[in-house]
């Protein structure tokens, strides 16, 4: 297989479609600098798949597209093709010619083609595998490779060997595998920590699960016992409520008859009320008319007074307007005189301004003429001074260069002297590195101890977090219990408050009176006696037993209110009603004693001392309860007179006991709120403690991570110190070579300092001559500037005079304008005063007429007011008669209401008992539904009845509550959480096994990659070493050379040393050879590397540049030896290489700026070479191209023959 043709279009400077034909042997490409020869090398690299823009001497890949020139626009596509002859079947495709093409558009889209068919880069790489062709192969040898081999940087030299051995791919794989291994190790470490944490939490949840299961068993038993008791109570209450419903139904049947009779008498009363209301309405209407007439009279009197005041004001204003009119006429005359004077002053100022302007123009012209003379003199001075400064600056720069040269000479001498010190310092550095390595080992051991300590602290922090979580769960459960208790108490309070609002249990007559209290006036009916009494539960029960029905008494304001209620009560016929007038007990009575701020009587005795009574009912409470003694536990009472009351059996609790129970429940609610607040604060404290513990855990975890990082850094530092020790060995040899170069540099700098000193003296002499010329010119400039200053002062004087004249003129103009405006304003003011006097006279006449009309109306309204007042007296007598008839009707209605009292009392008692039972049933239902969070019907249907006596069940229920209290807070989700954590632990354990296997697999892969890369590198190194020796002997005709690994035990990481001794020399280090010898050594090694993986062709890009004629001859002999086996494409400036080694030559020119083109030439006796669309027919074209290249000129393309 061989290369037959290269096609380029739009690639770098090859804008047009261009192709180069290649035959066997060597083909040279020549041309001047910058014409685009190396772009051919870049094109071959690029089409073979190069992906690094820097290898193509660019910043981005799109820079390979032709960027345009001064005469051409940029193109959008770059395309390069390589043609191979495959008749030998080297490439595994059934084609005799194989064409590889790469195309790149400016949008960044890259395409590859194989025989004009689109394909992938990998397809081309697979096709070329084993042929030695590829982007990373040695198919292109360029001058910078010589620099890389001769460089002090071992990485550059190693890169060439690694590319030849193909180790780069394995290095990339190893880095990727190491990165994955590190990630896997980190994941494994984290997973171990997570497994330890989950295992610990699983054990804690197992303990919580046992407590939760025990709690569930006790709760289920308590549910059955409590629902059994509730079911029995609900059944008993249901039977009694049924009996009460039947009796209430009977009473409701009797109630319509009583209501009909009551309604008849109420209608009679309403008729009387209507008659009284009509009389009252007529009286009110007449009273309204009287008030309206009085208001009209007052209004007319007020309007007459206002009119008289307006008349007086108008007279006063007319007098002032006449005075202002006289003053305005006098002022107008004075302003007109001042205006005439202002006009004369303005004319005088205009004349003065004209004269000043003429003088100023003359002075300005003189100043301009003087300024031009000064500018001319100043220009001559500046020219002379500039020339002197330039010469001085030149002398200064030369002196600076001389001093810099001397300083550099001194510095080089000092550096040469310092080399000896540096050699001694290198030994000290080696000793220092050894000490640092020992310290690094100690630091590594300390870091490992810190890692262990940090891990211990992390475990302690995790235990603290688990304890804080348990405490937080307990506080949360305690808050839930407090909320549950508060809800139960609030439900009871709501039920009792509803009964209190509806006045359940109050006598029907009292309840009716409270509903209709507004008809007796505000503050007439004060409320039931029970509203003014506050007592504890025990005292409230005793008071109700003693007072009986008296507890339903209603407190009224006074005896008059009681009399009015008596009439209402007789008409309503609602049953018995006890009224307590607040003023019935005089202040001198012993029951009207003083009270304490909380309502307790100061000198109360008996039962009255056990309650608190609010005024104005306090006197009545002390009168009813004062001196009453309680016998036993309330079975009998003895009053102050000695009478004994045996109350017997009472019905249910009354309003006093209900209010006492409500007060107790509110106190319990406050205690519950306090307990809930304590539980909430405890929960917040537990959460804060949990947050602190978690924060501490995070700190400990961070400390553990930091400690591990410190341990890794200590290990890295130890490795770095080892590399520093090896680097110190190499620096010793480099210092010796530097000493020789510094000695040569000292001689060069001394000669340069002498030359600079002579040139600086000449520049100083010329500068002094120029400075004398500048001094003469400055004298003339000073005289001209004096004349200019005098002219400027005169011009300034007249300029100031002009400005003052303009200012005086402006003042005169402004004064004239102001006086004209004042004359106009005064005229308008006089006209306005005249109009105002006319208006005032008209208004005065109209006001006098209106006042006479109002006086007549006032007399008429006074007569009408007297008539209406007489009618009002008659209406008030009619109202009194209607009141008497209404009292008679209300008395009859009261008799009917008393007859229905007994029926209403019985109905009230039954309703009260029914309400009490229903309230207890609803309270029980609400408590159970709130506690168990389900409807009562569902609860009664779902429990298992317990067949035990009620007392036994109550005892067992108390025991169950005690056991649940002792069990404490439980986690209701512990069972599910425990099962979930167990599954999580199993999953994490499986994940850890998989990660451990993955880590072992990655470690084994790294070992295999290292083994393969080591074998490839050593094989390539051995072959390159042998090839290097053979080619070195060919080029130098003898001598010794060798390649050595600095550390053979680590061939993939150590430096590669080149040793060469040409024939007759004993020098081993290539840095001590001449530049030509070093270039030949590098070429020997490059060809040795190339031959380890030979390719069908090789491109040599200006590698012969540093060779002299003798060495070029050796180079040409080597090319002639190898070109029988390998095609060579030689880019060169050397005409000897072109004529002696090349079988064909291409000349690259840039006839059009920025665009490369080829001239096709043929050598003497050889076939003509095709270079695209233009051909050179004669031998003269080749001679011209080679001669022009040797002279540094650009060859011109030959003209095609016709």
Helix (H/G/I), strand (E/B), else coil: 82: strand
Q: Concatenate the DSSP letters of all residues of 361-389 into one string.
A: HHHHHHHHHHHHHHHHHHHHHHHHHHHHH
Helix (H/G/I), strand (E/B), else coil: 69: coil
Name the least confident of 647-656, 781-790, 870-879, 1008-1017. Answer: 647-656
Distances in whole angstroms, Cα of residue 486 to Cα of each of 498, 674, 963, 1197 = 18, 10, 22, 109
Which residue range forms the structural domain that includes residue 518?
A: 506-651
Q: Report the alpha-carbon distance of residue 164 to residue 1056 in Å, rounded.
A: 14
Sequence-distant (6+) residues with CB within 8 A of 346 are: 809, 812, 813, 816
Q: Is the pLDDT of residue 130 over 70?
A: no
Specify whether the CB–CB gap between 985 and 198 falls below 8 A: yes
Q: Is the pLDDT of residue 222 over 60?
A: yes
- Provide the pLDDT for residue 339: 74
For 1042-1087, the pLDDT digits (tens) are: 888 887 777 877 788 888 888 767 665 677 777 777 788 888 888 8
- Provide the pLDDT for residue 1192: 39
- Provide the pLDDT for residue 154: 64
- Provide the pLDDT for residue 104: 93
CATH code, domain with 619: 1.20.1060.20
Q: Is the pLDDT of residue 818 over 70?
A: yes
Q: Report the alpha-carbon distance of residue 794 to residue 364 in Å, rounded.
A: 9
Annotated binding site for ATP, which residues? 32-39
- Provide the pLDDT for residue 402: 75
1095 domain-assigned: no
For 265-317, the pLDDT digits (tens) are: 777 777 877 887 787 788 788 788 878 877 887 887 777 777 777 777 777 77
Q: Report the alpha-carbon distance of residue 714 to residue 721 in Å, rounded.
A: 11
Sequence-distant (6+) residues with CB within 8 A of 432 are: none
- Provide the pLDDT for residue 221: 81
Answer with the residue of higher pLDDT: 412 or 391.
Answer: 391
Query: How sure is the predictor about 1197, in pLDDT bands with cuts at 50, 70 and 90?
Result: very low
Q: Concatenate the DSSP letters of all residues of 178-217 into one string.
A: HHHHHHHHHHHHHHHHHHHHHHHHHHHHHHHHHHHHHHHH
540 domain-assigned: yes
Q: Report the alpha-carbon distance of residue 800 to residue 195 in Å, rounded.
A: 99
Q: Is the pLDDT of residue 405 over 80?
A: no
User: CB atoms < 10 A from the CB of 625, how many?
Assistant: 27
Specify whether the CB–CB gap between 84 and 4 falls below 8 A: yes
What the block records as the tokens of 122 is 């990998």
Specify whether the CB–CB gap between 904 and 575 falls below 8 A: yes
Annotated binding site, which residues? 32-39
Residue among 819, 824, 821, 827 nearest 344 (CA):
819
Tokens 């430096």 -> residue:
1055
For 1088-1110, the pLDDT digits (tens) are: 877 777 778 888 888 888 887 77
Sequence-distant (6+) residues with CB within 8 A of 291 are: none
569 domain-assigned: yes
Tokens 């005086």 -> residue:
808
Greatest mean pLDDT among 412-416, 457-461, 579-583: 579-583
- Provide the pLDDT for residue 1177: 34
Mean pLDDT, rounded, of the chain: 76
Name the least confident of 418-427, 521-530, 1011-1020, 1031-1040. Answer: 418-427
Q: Concatenate the DSSP letters of all residues of 641-706 into one string.
A: T--EE------S--HHHHHHHHHHHHHHHHHHHHHHHHHHHHHHHHHHHHHHHHHHHHHHHHHHHH
Residue among 72, 83, 77 nearest 105 (CA):
77
Give the strand pairing for 2-9 and 18-21. antiparallel
Q: Is the pLDDT of residue 1194 over 80?
A: no
Sequence-distant (6+) residues with CB within 8 A of 60 are: 53
Across 571-586, average pLDDT? 77
H or E element: which one contains 340? helix 167-501
Number of domains in the chain: 1
Residue among 919, 930, 916 nearest 488 (CA):
930
Across 1165-1170, average pLDDT? 46
Name the least confident of 493-507, 521-535, 1071-1085, 1181-1195. Answer: 1181-1195
Residue among 1116, 1112, 1086 nearest 139 (CA):
1086
Percentage of the chain surpassing pLDDT 90?
A: 4
Q: Is the pLDDT of residue 1200 over 60?
A: no
Distances in whole angstroms, Cα of residue 202 to Cα of each of 217, 694, 975, 979 = 23, 18, 11, 9
Q: Is the pLDDT of residue 1184 over 90?
A: no
Q: Is the pLDDT of residue 389 over 50?
A: yes
For 525-566, the pLDDT digits (tens) are: 888 877 778 777 777 777 777 776 677 788 888 888 888 888
Please state at what angle helix 167-501 crosses helix 154-165, rounded to 10 degrees. 100
Give the strand pairing for 644-645 and 1127-1131. unpaired
Give the strand pairing for 579-581 and 554-556. parallel
Across 26-51, average pLDDT? 88
Q: Is the pLDDT of residue 804 over 90?
A: no
Please state at what angle helix 950-967 crosses helix 167-501, rounded to 10 degrees. 140
Q: Concatenate the DSSP letters of all residues of 549-602 into one string.
A: GGGG-EEESSHHHHHHHHHHHHHH--S---EEETTSS-TTSTTS--B-TTS-BT
Name the least confident of 306-310, 1033-1037, 1052-1056, 1192-1196. Answer: 1192-1196
- Provide the pLDDT for residue 879: 76
544 domain-assigned: yes
911 domain-assigned: no
Q: Is the pLDDT of residue 72 over 50?
A: yes
Query: How sure is the predictor about 114, in pLDDT bands with cuts at 50, 70 and 90?
Result: very high
Decide: residue 546, CB within 10 A, 0-12 exposed, 13-18 middle, 19+ buried: buried
Query: How sure is the predictor about 113, in pLDDT bands with cuts at 50, 70 and 90?
Result: very high
Q: Report the alpha-carbon distance of residue 468 to residue 198 in Å, rounded.
A: 16
Distances in whole angstroms, Cα of residue 801 to Cα of each of 14, 65, 352, 499 = 79, 75, 9, 107
Residue among 672, 694, 715 nearest 472 (CA):
694
- Provide the pLDDT for residue 11: 93
625 domain-assigned: yes
558 domain-assigned: yes
Task: Kindly state the DSSP code that residue 1070 receives in the 8-state scheme.
Answer: G
């Amino acid at each position: 297989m061989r290369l037959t043709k290269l096609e380029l279009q739009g690639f770098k400077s090859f804008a047009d479609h261009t192709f180069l034909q290649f035959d066997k042997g060597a083909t040279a490409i020549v041309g001047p600098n910058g014409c685009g020869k190396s772009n051919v090398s870049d094109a071959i690299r690029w089409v073979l798949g190069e992906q690094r823009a820097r290898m193509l001497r660019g910043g981005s890949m799109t820079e390979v597209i032709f960027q345009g020139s001064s005469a051409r626009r940029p193109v959008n596509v770059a395309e390069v093709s390589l043609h191979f002859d495959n008749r030998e079947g080297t490439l595994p495709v059934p084609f005799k010619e194989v064409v590889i093409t790469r195309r790149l558009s400016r949008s960044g889209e890259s395409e590859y083609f194989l025989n004009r068919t689109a394909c992938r880069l990998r397809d081309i790489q697979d096709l070329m595998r084993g042929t030695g062709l590829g982007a990373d192969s040695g198919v292109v040898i360029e001058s910078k490779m010589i620099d890389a081999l001769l460089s002090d940087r071992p990485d550059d030299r190693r890169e060439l060997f690694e590319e030849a051995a193909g180790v780069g791919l394995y290095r990339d794989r190893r880095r990727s595998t190491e990165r994955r291994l590190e990630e896997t190790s980190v994941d494994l470490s984290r997973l171990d920590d997570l497994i330890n944490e989950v295992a610990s939490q699983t054990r804690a949840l197992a303990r919580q699960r046992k407590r939760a299961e025990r709690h569930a068993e006790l709760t289920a038993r308590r549910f059955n016992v409590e629902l059994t008791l509730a079911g029995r109570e609900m059944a008993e209450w249901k039977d009694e409520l049924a009996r009460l419903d039947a009796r209430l139904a009977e009473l409701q049947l009797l109630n319509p008859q009583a209501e009909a009779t009551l309604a008849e008498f109420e209608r009679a009363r309403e008729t009387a009320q209507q008659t009284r209301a009509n009389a009252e309405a007529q009286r009110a209407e007449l009273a309204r008319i009287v008030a309206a007439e009085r208001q009209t009279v007052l209004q007319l009197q007020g309007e007459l007074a206002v009119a008289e005041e307006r008349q007086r004001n108008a007279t006063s204003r007319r007098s002032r307007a006449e005075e202002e009119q006289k003053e305005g006429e006098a002022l107008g005359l004075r302003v007109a005189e001042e205006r005439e004077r202002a006009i004369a002053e303005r004319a005088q100022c205009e004349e003065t301004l004209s004269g000043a302007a003429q003088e100023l123009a003359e002075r300005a012209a003189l100043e301009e003429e003087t300024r031009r003379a000064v500018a001319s003199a100043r220009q001559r001075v500046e020219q002379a001074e500039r020339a002197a400064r330039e010469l001085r600056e030149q002398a200064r720069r030369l002196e600076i260069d001389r001093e810099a040269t001397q300083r550099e000479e001194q510095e080089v001498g000092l550096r040469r002297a310092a080399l000896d010190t540096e050699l001694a310092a290198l030994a000290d550095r080696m000793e220092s590195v050894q000490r640092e390595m020992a310290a690094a080992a100690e630091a590594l051991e300390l870091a490992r101890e810190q890692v262990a300590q940090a891990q211990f602290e992390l475990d302690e922090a995790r235990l603290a977090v688990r304890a804080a979580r348990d405490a937080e769960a307990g506080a949360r459960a305690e808050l839930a219990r407090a909320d549950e208790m508060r809800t139960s108490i609030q439900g009871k309070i709501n039920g009792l408050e509803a009964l209190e609002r509806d006045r359940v249990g109050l006598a029907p007559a009292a309840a009716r009176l409270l509903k209709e209290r507004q008809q007796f006036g505000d503050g007439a009916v004060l409320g039931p006696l029970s509203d003014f009494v506050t007592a504890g539960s025990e005292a409230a029960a005793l008071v109700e037993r003693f007072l009986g029905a008296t507890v339903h008494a209603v407190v009224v304001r006074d005896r008059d209110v009681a009399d009015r209620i008596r009439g209402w009560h007789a008409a309503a016929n609602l049953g018995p009603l006890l009224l307590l007038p607040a003023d019935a007990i005089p202040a001198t009575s012993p029951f009207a004693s003083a009270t304490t701020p909380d309502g307790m009587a100061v000198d109360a005795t008996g039962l009255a001392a056990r309650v608190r009574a609010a005024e104005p009912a306090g006197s009545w409470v002390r009168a009813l309860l004062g001196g009453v003694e309680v016998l036993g536990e309330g079975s009998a009472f003895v009053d102050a007179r000695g009478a004994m009351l045996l109350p017997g059996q009472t019905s249910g609790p009354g309003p006093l006991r209900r209010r006492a129970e409500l007060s107790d429940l509110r106190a319990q609610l406050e205690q519950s709120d306090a307990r809930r607040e304590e539980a909430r604060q405890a929960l917040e404290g537990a959460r804060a403690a949990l947050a602190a513990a978690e924060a501490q855990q995070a700190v400990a975890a961070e400390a553990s991570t930091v400690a591990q990082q410190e341990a890794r850094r200590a290990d890295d530092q130890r490795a770095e110190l080892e590399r520093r020790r090896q680097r110190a060995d190499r620096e010793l040899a480099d210092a010796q070579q530097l000493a020789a170069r510094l000695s040569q540099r000292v001689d060069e700098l001394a000669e340069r300092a002498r030359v600079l000193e002579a040139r600086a003296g000449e520049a100083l002499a010329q500068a002094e001559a120029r400075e004398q010329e500048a001094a003469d010119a400055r004298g003339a400039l000073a005289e001209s500037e004096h004349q200019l200053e005098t002219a400027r002062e005169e011009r300034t004087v007249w300029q100031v005079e002009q400005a003052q004249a303009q200012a005086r003129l402006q003042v005169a103009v402004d004064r004239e304008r102001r006086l004209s405006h004042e004359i106009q304003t005064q005229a308008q003011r006089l006209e306005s005063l005249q109009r105002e006097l006319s208006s005032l006279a008209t208004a005065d006449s109209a006001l006098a007429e209106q006042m006479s009309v109002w006086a007549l109306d006032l007399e008429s309204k006074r007569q009408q007011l007297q008539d209406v007042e007489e009618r009002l007296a008659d209406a008030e007598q009619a109202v009194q008669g209607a009141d008497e008839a209404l009292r008679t009707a209300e008395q009859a209605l009261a008799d009917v209401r008393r007859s229905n009292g007994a029926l209403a009392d019985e109905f009230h008692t039954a309703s009260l008992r029914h309400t009490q039972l229903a309230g207890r049933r609803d309270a029980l239902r609400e408590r159970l539904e709130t506690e168990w969070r389900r409807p009562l019907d569902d609860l009664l249907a779902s429990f298992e009845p317990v067949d035990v006596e009620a007392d036994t069940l109550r005892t067992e229920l108390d025991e169950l509550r005690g056991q649940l209290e002792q069990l404490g807070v439980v986690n209701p989700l512990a069972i599910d959480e425990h099962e979930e954590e167990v599954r999580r632990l199993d999953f994490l354990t499986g994940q850890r096994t998989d990660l451990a296997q993955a880590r072992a697999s990655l470690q084994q892969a790294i070992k295999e990659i290292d083994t393969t890369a080591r074998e490839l590198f050593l094989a390539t190194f051995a072959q390159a070493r042998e090839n290097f020796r053979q080619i070195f002997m060919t080029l130098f005709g003898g001598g010794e050379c060798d390649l050595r690994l600095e550390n053979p035990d680590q061939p993939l990481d150590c430096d590669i040393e080149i040793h060469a001794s040409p024939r007759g020399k004993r020098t081993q280090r290539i840095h001590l050879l001449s530049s030509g010898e070093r270039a030949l050594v590098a070429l020997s090694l490059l060809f040795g590397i190339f031959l380890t993986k030979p390719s069908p062709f090789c491109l040599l890009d200006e590698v012969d540049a540093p060779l002299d004629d003798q060495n070029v001859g050796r180079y040409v002999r080597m090319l002639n030896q190898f070109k029988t086996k390998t095609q060579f494409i030689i880019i060169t400036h050397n005409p000897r290489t072109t004529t002696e080694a090349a079988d064909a030559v291409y000349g690259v020119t840039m006839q059009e700026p920025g665009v490369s083109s080829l001239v096709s030439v043929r050598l003497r006796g050889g076939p003509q070479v095709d270079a695209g669309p233009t051909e050179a027919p004669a031998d003269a074209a080749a001679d011209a191209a080679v001669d022009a290249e040797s002279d540094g000129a650009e060859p011109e393309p030959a003209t095609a023959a016709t």
